[in-house]
Amino acid sequence: MAEETMSEEVADGQSGNRPRRGRVHVFPLMVIGLVATAIGIALGLLIDWFPVQAATQAEDVDTVYHVLIITSVPFFVLVTTIVLYCVWQFRERPGEEGLDGPNVHGSTGLEIVWTAIPAILLIALCSYAYVTLRDIEEAPAAGEPELIVEVTGQQFAWTFAYPEAEGGAVKSAELILPKDVSVKFNIKALDVIHDFWVPEFRMKIDAVPGITTSFRVTPSKLGSWSVVCAELCGVGHALMRQKVTVVSQERFDAWLARKQAGGKAAAGGGAAGEADGGDKAAIGKTLFAEGNGEATACGACHALSDAGTSGAAGPNLDDVLQGWTPAQLTEAIVDPNKAIAEGFTEGIMPANYGETLTKPELAALVTYLEETAAK
Ligand code: CUA
């Protein structure tokens, strides 16, 4: 029976007027489409896909996502349903090889509709996203405080500076922020393109050599989150992760003051040449925790409790520092790829500390590490 129908159709097809096989199943298709749409939207909205919202910006960003889900799932389902239906209904049966249906020429009305609907939708969604971004990036009202933080990306670590801190600029390998204060990040890169991202804040932007990019967040939750590099930047990209800690304003002020006191004790990295003994170690400690502007802070990648750093891209120095001679320490800093600690990869640590640190700075760093290991 089936074969008879088929041969009839094939015969008609050859005459160029192949009839459609049965009626189009509009009703079952609509039911399937509605069910699939409901499931898709429910999965998008009910499942908690995102990390915690740790900045005031996060809620608006998540709302943009939800609106996009609600508007795009129905169209995705519509297109997918029609494509799958056509594949199933109009597939080539045995004996139909090389046959083709009648040619369909353009339909102006249809083309206008399927161009206009996506265009209107796209313009509406883009405008909505643009307005949201403009709102959440708005500068705080006059008189409201704003904290400026300079972020520098370098293979393969971030360093941070607080240029407007009362009592003098502060550099740090760790990002500490006060809660409920608008923070403006000014972001730079020294070598290749990186991307400064804190998923819990929902904001990210490229760090591009030669220009300064920026975004604002207002941290709204106490805690520690990851600073992530979101742009493939070399062999150490996956390890370019640090920590941001959001604390109360009082603790933030106390931390800044402590940093400033430490910095002053070691004032003038350039004076490292004349310094000796305790001064030298203090300069080394500052270099370790802050870098010197050209050399990345060691603490961005290495945890060392004496320096208060917790970087994890490189070996934890609290565990491995004991028993090194000054010569071995110097070699490990200027020629890091000569011997790689177990579990770590060659090429992660910058191999240019011999150039980015002056000789006295290098000596101060080695003195500090030696004295710390002996503590
Ligand atoms: Cu820096 Cu990826």
Span 259-279, pLDDT tens digits = 887 665 554 444 444 555 568
Q: What is the mean pLDDT of residues 80-89?
A: 89
**pLDDT band per the 50, 70, 90 thresholds, residue 4:** very low
Q: Please say whether the beta carbons of 288 and 299 come within 8 A.
A: yes
146-249 homologous superfamily = Cupredoxins -  blue copper proteins (2.60.40.420)
**Residue 276: per-residue pLDDT:** 56
Measured in degrees and rounded to the nearest 5, phi and psi for residue 226 equal -90, 135
**40-45: long-range contacts (C-beta < 8 A, 24 or more apart)?**
40/69, 40/73, 40/76, 40/77, 41/69, 41/70, 41/73, 44/69, 44/70, 44/73, 45/69, 45/70
Q: Each residue of 274-283: pLDDT tens digit?
A: 555 568 888 8
Does the CB atom of residue 290 touch ligand 1 within 6 A?
no
Of the ranges 14-18, 50-54, 56-60, which one carries the lowest mean pLDDT score? Answer: 14-18
Does the CB atom of residue 231 touch ligand 1 within 6 A?
yes
Instruction: Give distance in angstroms: CA of 229 to centre of ligand 1.
Output: 4
**Residue 345: per-residue pLDDT:** 78
Ligand 1 atom with the shortest distance to the CA of 238 = 2
List the chain domain ranges. Answer: 21-92+107-136, 146-249, 268-374
Q: What is the mean pLDDT of residues 249-255?
A: 92
Does the CB atom of residue 189 touch ligand 1 within 6 A?
no
Q: What is the mean pLDDT of residues 294-306?
A: 83
CA 91 to chain centre: 44
Neighbours of 274 (CB within 10 A): 10
Q: Please say whether the beta carbons of 183 and 147 come within 8 A.
A: yes
Q: Each residue of 93-146: pLDDT tens digit?
A: 888 887 877 787 888 998 999 899 999 999 999 999 999 999 999 888 888 889
**Residue 278: per-residue pLDDT:** 66
Does the CB atom of residue 284 touch ligand 1 within 6 A?
no
Q: Indicate whether this model's pTM tops 0.85.
A: no
**Residue 7: per-residue pLDDT:** 40
Would the CA dihedral through 100, 103, 106, 109 be positive or negative? Answer: negative
Ligand 1 atom with the shortest distance to the CA of 207 = 1
- Top-confidence residue, 284 or 182: 182
**Residue 246: per-residue pLDDT:** 95
Q: Comparing C-alpha atoms, which of 239, 250, 274 is closest to residue 348?
A: 239
Q: Please say whether the beta carbons of 192 and 155 come within 8 A.
A: yes
Q: Does domain 268-374 have CATH number 3.50.50.60?
A: no
Strand pairing class (182-189; 146-154): parallel
pLDDT at 323 over 60: yes
Q: Which residue has the tokens 């220009």?
A: 211
Does the CB atom of residue 194 touch ligand 1 within 6 A?
yes
- CA distance readout (Å), 367 to 112, 251, 285, 306: 75, 31, 9, 14
pLDDT at 44 over 90: no
Does the CB atom of residue 240 touch ligand 1 within 6 A?
yes
Greatest Cα-to-Cα distance within the chain, rounded to the nearest angstrom: 102
pLDDT at 34 over 50: yes
CA distance linking residue 318 with residue 214, whole number of Å: 35
Residue whose CA is closest, atom 1 of ligand 1?
194
**Residue 103: per-residue pLDDT:** 80
Q: What is the mean pLDDT of the chain?
A: 84
CA distance linking residue 130 with residue 140, whole number of Å: 19
**Residue 77: per-residue pLDDT:** 93
What 3-state class would DSSP assign to 209?
strand
